[in-house]
Amino acid sequence: MSNANVEGVLPADVIALVPMRNVVLFPHVLVPITVGRPKSVAAVQFARQHGGTLGIVLQRDARIDEPSLAELCEVGTLAKIYQYSSSSDEMHHAVCQGVQRFRIKELLPDYPFLAARVEMVNEDTHSTPRAEALGLQLRERAIEILQLLPAVPAELAHVLQATRDGSQLADIVASLLDGELAEKQALLETLEPEERLNKVLLMLTRRIEVLRLSQEIGDRTKEQLDDRQRKFLLREQLKTIQHELGEDDTVDENVQKLEGLIAKAGMPSEVEVQARKELARLKRMSDASSEYSMQFTYLEWLTDLPWGAPTASEIDLKEARAVLEADHHGLERIKQRIVEFLAVQKLNPSGRAPILCFVGPPGVGKTSLGQSIARALGRPFVRVSLGGVHDEAEIRGHRRTYIGSMPGNILQGLRKAGARNCVMMLDEVDKITASAHGDPSAALLEVLDPEQNASFRDNYLGQPFDLSRVVFIATANVIDQVPPAVRDRMEVIELPGYTQEEKIQIARRYLLPRQRERNGLSAEQCEFSDAALRALVADYTREAGVRQLEREIARTMRHAAMQVAGGELAMVQIEAADLDAILGPIQFEHEVGLRTNSPGVATGLAWTPVGGDILFVEAMRVAGSGKLILTGQLGEVMKESAQAALTLVKSRAASMEIAASAFDAVDIHVHVPAGAIPKDGPSAGVAMFIALASLFTNRVVRHEVAMTGEISLRGMVLPVGGIRDKILAAQRAGLTVVMLPARNEKDLREVPDSTRQALQFVWLKDVDDAIRAALV
């Protein structure tokens, strides 16, 4: 290197260059820089000794110590050094002010510093109206951002107000922005003043929006912190007040009590771990927070549930049979099935018990059978009513995220029973309805499935609970209304209605003593005769069960109590003749003979959800055009039965000695009285046929005969269901002959012996058998 290059003055177009890693210097802006690389220090010192100017340029890659021409940005800023100092850590500091832009042409070798031949950039000083407008807008926005930035010198606003040149204003504002280095370098390389003003204005607008949002978030956070500090101070004051009143130990006592209950609850290990974790959360909470009470209630539920293994109790089958006999009259087949169930439980206590479902009309004793099973097993009994349940959460519970959430009815029942092997009766499973809140019957599938209920998960509890030791018993009035998937998980046991004799025995054994006690009477103060009971059953009630019968007995007991309490009589004897004065006129007349004394009327047997019943089928001919008129709220099945019956009568007109002209120019009206009651079912075909055959042959149907069965167009009599209930209905109505399909003869075993002996049965293979047995 020549001595002239070291000590002499540089050529006019050559400057000492300082590459910067993280600084972009704009003209007219004062910026402190720090240098440490030997060539950069040499450049700063050379500039101080020879005129005090040097070039500041941004290097593209900050990791390079000795950048080449390609690694330097093309445009830099000529700067004047105003202050210079060095520190003990070999770092040199200078305060520089930008003067003018330059463009690097080439780097020159043989200098102790980075020297470059440059071309100075002369900016256009001509101002356009658009540039003036942009400058005015930029000045306003710049003053606005100064108010949002912290610790900004007040002189800076005066500088901006005093700066009128648009290009100079753009450079000053650009230096204030803390954007990316690439963005600032792009502004430095934008030589057109109007274009540079526009770019800086866009960057400034975006930065103002960010600062405003930051300020709003900061203010909101400060408000929240202030609110928390206020609540903290209030809680501390509350604790001090409670301490002065001697009430500060209550919360700690409750938490300690919960800790003891968790230890005693006998939870599975994974549940206990979760409970202790929740307890630790509770300890960290303030008792004044809203979540504290929810957490405390959850832990109370966890500790109240019967987690521990149930103690096995010895089952005495003789005692169980005695309990069933004492609680229920009749129902022999049902009792036998229950004893079998108990016998299996005795031999295999840990086995999965089948879910029994008692199906029958109201008042036949389904719920009391469940109570008897619980007594026989020596276990607690709990009843869960499902009638009208339409929300899945009532079975599975609500999640704890909801205010006021609770476990479902299953776990509530277990908590009430206090034992994991209780007898739980799910009452009225056929009354469950789906809604927008889900299908509760779908939630029952896991409860009633022995393969799944060992890990039943309630939404509120959030932990599996073993339901496999619970003896589930369901009840329903109509099994067809139970969803097939739920029905598949249960063993259905039909409970038909009671016969008249069974009702009298039930009234004598159970209903009369219970109503005497409820009305404050003794056996010596009120007595029912057998005739009175028989009249009460026959004339004032018509039901499959005994619920209405008990209500009527209660009415008579209240009448007797009034006489005994008033001192009129010391002992009241209720006779059949007294019922009219006490209960009013009889409610049900035996009008079969009256209703069937003319052709075209037949007595049919029907099944209803409350037991069997009789219905009359009336047929009439009127002048018309051959139409078939059907009235009486008949369903589609019964309408089709009537049409089939008419077709069958027409097809057999010759064999029944009916003139072919009998069907001409007439309308046939078939009516089933009690028109306000909807009727449907596949068992009225025989009655429809006999009514039409009676009408056209002008032969009266025997008044003591009732019939049921479906017919085919070939004249076959097809089997139907509900035979036992229909036979009992015929007996209640005072009928003596019952016509049944021959293929239903096997169902006669379910009928009590007393009823079989009281009635005469005619078995029908085809409609010819029905004509011979029914028509006079």
Upper half-sphere CA count for residue 284 (Cβ side, 13 Å):
6
Q: What is the secondary structure of 304-373 as a DSSP string? A: HS--SPPPP----HHHHHHHHHHH-SS-HHHHHHHHHHHHHHHH-TTS----EEEE--TTSSHHHHHHHH
For 210, the enclosing helix (H) or strand (E) is: helix 193-245
Tokens of residue 417, six digits:
């029973």
Single out the catalytic residue among 167, 372, 683, 694. Answer: 683
How far apart CA 616 and CA 186 sit, in angstroms, is 101
The Cα diameter of the chain in Å comes to: 151
726 is catalytic: yes
Tokens of residue 495, six digits:
């409970």
CA geometry: angle at 309 spanning 303 and 312, to 5°?
135
How far apart CA 649 and CA 666 sit, in angstroms, is 15
Torsion over CA: 400, 403, 404, 409 (sign): negative
CA geometry: angle at 439 spanning 434 and 440, to 5°?
105
Q: Are 741 and 720 in contact (CB under 8 A)?
A: yes
What does R_g of the chain's alpha carbons equal in angstroms? 50
Q: Are 259 and 300 in contact (CB under 8 A)?
A: no
Looking at 18-177, list the stretches that DSSP marks H as alpha helix, in order from N- to C-terminal side.
38-49, 129-148, 155-162, 166-176
Report CA-CA distances (Å) from 213 to 217, 419, 763.
Answer: 6, 59, 92
Name residue 601's beta-bridge partners. Answer: 618
Phi, psi for residue 773 in degrees, rounded to 5: -85, -25
Residue type, 541: T
Strands 75-86 and 92-108: antiparallel
Single out the catalytic residue among 726, 746, 754, 765. Answer: 726
Residue with tokens 């003869």: 745
In this structure, how many other beta carbons lie within 10 angstroms of the beta carbon of residue 764?
Answer: 26
Q: Are 101 and 74 in contact (CB under 8 A)?
A: no
Q: Are 435 and 426 in contact (CB under 8 A)?
A: no
How far apart CA 19 and CA 39 sit, in angstroms, is 10
How far apart CA 494 and CA 542 sit, in angstroms, is 20
Torsion over CA: 33, 39, 41, 44 (sign): negative
Catalytic residues, which ones? 683, 726
